[in-house]
Amino acid sequence: MQVTETLNDGLKRSYRITVTAAELDDKVQAKLVEAQPGIEMKGFRKGRVPMALLRKQFGPRLLGEAMQESIDGAVNGHLESSGDRPAMQPQVKMTNEDWKEGDDVLVDVSYERLPEVPAVDLSAVALDRLVVTPDDAAVDEALANLADTAKTFDDRKKGSKAKVGDQVVIDFVGKVDGEAFEGGSATDYPLVLGSNSFIPGFEAGLVGVKAGEEKDVEVTFPADYGAKHLAGKQAVFTCTVKAVKEPKPAEVNDELAKQFGAEDLAALRTQISDRLAAEYTGAARTVAKRALLDALDKLVDFDLPPSLVEAEANQIAHQLWHEEHPEEHGHNHDAIEPTDEHKRLAVRRVKLGLLLADIGQKAEVKVTDQELTQAILNQARQYRGQERQFFEFIQQNAAARQQIQAPIFEDKVIDHIFAQAKVTEKAATKDELKAAVDALEVE
């Protein structure tokens, strides 16, 4: 077997592999010899079938197996000896299409190798990490929000007009072109005005109504409304107002605390403070992580496999297109061409991905079986009633496991880098942290 290099350009590599007819014949013969003792054929005792007859009956199939094994072995052997790691699956093509038994097999193999990632002095990376401590005002605000979720509604004084924030209890029937439509009616429906739980214009049309009043509310369904037969259509909802109720926030006391599983108000305040501290820490880590990635992006530069960048740019373009067109759930749409911005972002992602993978490998960062199992269980909880099926699917699907494992690995590598870098803790307010997080979304 011969392997000859035909292209060496940057990260691109191509090779011509020649598998001789003699090598193939030897492999076929070895397979026949191995199988002969167990083969039975009419007219012959088990294990006594002549080799010539075996070759005639099984030779073509074994020749195909031998050919595939030889090619795979040659490719794997080359990658092992060269140390090349293909960025994507190598392209393997048999070039002598008029091949017949007795000919050598000529195969072209091409791929882009992963680059050598330059070493980075992580101790040279300097960044700030915001530290926010929950204060009494933040805890009070969170308590007020909890009290709002536990609020009740009491009937307003007879004849009072409904305001934004009030609850109206209504019967309604919706019609399009004078015909009632399925799902467009309800009885004794409690609707909080301003909750934006109905289509635009519906709740606003009920502001100012009184108990006992009947009112037609005219609205237009959004063009991207989920029910296609209603999208963009004008509708009239005939509403009968049965009650107008004003909100009564729950009192912030021990009783409220018990509703949320705490022993008393003091214990609830402690729980809220701990939760806020965890939220602030998570947000601060997100900000620090972006700063770290920005610093790493500027520190290193190396050749990137064009195929990886192209694939990532296509993925980014496709994902953003679907975010802009949430009504489209399938892939039955025109091709989406990546923009220069998509390509720029793809270059950054591929470079940082390769860099983090290299740092993690050199630091021997590992995702433990326990960490992976816990992550799978956490995701399985999103599929209530189908947790077992989800868990079994992940266990049997290597690609799906890799998708769950990748962010765990990345977080552990980021933590490793944080431990090596110069990280200065900087006290900040809740508003300053929020501004820093908002800035990430704008970029």
Q: How many CB atoms lie within 10 A of CB 344?
A: 13
Tens-digit pLDDT profile for residues 251-308: 999 999 999 999 999 999 999 999 999 999 999 999 999 999 999 999 999 999 999 9
- For a pLDDT cut of 90, what percent of the chain falls above it? 66
For residue 251, count CB atoms less than 10 angstroms from its CB and return exposed for 0-12, middle for 13-18, buried for 19 or more.
exposed
Distance CA 76, CA 23 (A): 17
- Structure tokens, 76: 């794997």
Q: What is the pLDDT of residue 421?
A: 95
Ramachandran bin of 43, using left for φ above 0, alpha for ψ from -120 to 50, beta for the remaining angles: left
Tens-digit pLDDT profile for residues 175-205: 999 999 988 999 999 999 999 999 999 999 9
Tens-digit pLDDT profile for residues 363-396: 999 999 999 999 998 888 888 888 888 888 998 8
Q: How confident is the model at residue 442 (pLDDT cuts 50, 70, 90)?
A: low
4: which strand partners?
Answer: 16
Token pair 């030779």 is found at 59
Token pair 């009968």 is found at 240
- Structure tokens, 185: 């009616």
pTM metric for this prediction: 0.74
Q: How confident is the model at residue 46 (pLDDT cuts 50, 70, 90)?
A: confident
237: which strand partners?
Answer: 174, 217
Distance CA 436, CA 201 (A): 35
Tens-digit pLDDT profile for residues 332-373: 777 888 999 999 999 999 999 999 999 999 999 999 999 999
DSSP code per residue over 366-391: ---HHHHHHHHHHHHTTSTT-HHHHH
Strands 152-155 and 234-248: antiparallel
Q: What is the mean pLDDT of residues 402-412?
A: 94
Ramachandran bin of 178, using left for φ above 0, alpha for ψ from -120 to 50, beta for the remaining angles: left
- For a pLDDT cut of 70, what percent of the chain falls above it? 99
Q: What is the pLDDT of residue 50?
A: 82
Token pair 């509310």 is found at 217
